[in-house]
């Protein structure tokens, strides 16, 4: 069964450092999502891609966060500089298209701890 891959699974970094997360969606899925899940809460959308284009990044803190999906396949989410409040689980998901956003497939996530 095809899965969404994410790496690393765990990351510990000091505040003010840069950190990057990688996601490889299910083959053929045109739409990719990055979510942030703070402990004890549900996931919140950070950015949505359709192929290589950003569809929605209204909730992405653009002063420190950036995301790209250069070839419309895998994607990288970067934080620079990291802050203590960025400690969370970062989830990547994909769907066949925007109209299938209700059927997203999630990766295992990257748990970030900022010290």
Partner 1 sequence: AQSVTQLDSQVPVFEEAPVELRCNYSSSVSVYLFWYVQYPNQGLQLLLKYLSGSTLVKGINGFEAEFNKSQTSFHLRKPSVHISDTAEYFCAVSLSGGSYIPTFGRGTSLIVHP
Residue ranges binding partner 1 (CB under 8 A): 4, 6, 9, 33, 40-45, 48, 56, 91, 93, 98-104, 106-109, 111
Q: Which lies closer to partner 1 via its Cβ, residue 81 or residue 108?
A: 108
Q: Is 51 helix (H, G, I), strand (E, B) or coil?
A: coil
- Look up residue 23 and give its two tokens: 């996601």
CA 115 – CA 113 distance, rounded (Å)? 6
Shortest CB 76 distance to partner 1, Å: 18
Shortest CB 23 distance to partner 1, Å: 11
Q: Which lies closer to partner 1 via its Cβ, residue 77 or residue 93?
A: 93
Which sign, positive or negative, has the C-alpha torsion 101, 4, 46, 97? negative
């Amino acid at each position: 069964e095809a899965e969404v891959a994410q790496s690393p699974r765990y990351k510990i970094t000091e505040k003010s450092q840069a950190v990057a997360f990688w996601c490889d969606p299910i083959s053929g899925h045109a739409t990719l999502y990055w979510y942030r899940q703070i402990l004890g809460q549900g996931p919140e959308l950070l950015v949505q891609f359709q192929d290589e284009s950003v569809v929605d990044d209204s909730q992405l803190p653009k002063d420190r966060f950036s995301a790209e999906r250069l070839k419309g396949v895998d994607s990288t989410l970067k934080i620079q500089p990291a802050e203590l409040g960025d400690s969370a689980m970062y989830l990547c998901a994909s769907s066949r298209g925007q109209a299938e956003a209700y059927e997203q497939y999630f990766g295992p996530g990257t748990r970030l701890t900022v010290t």
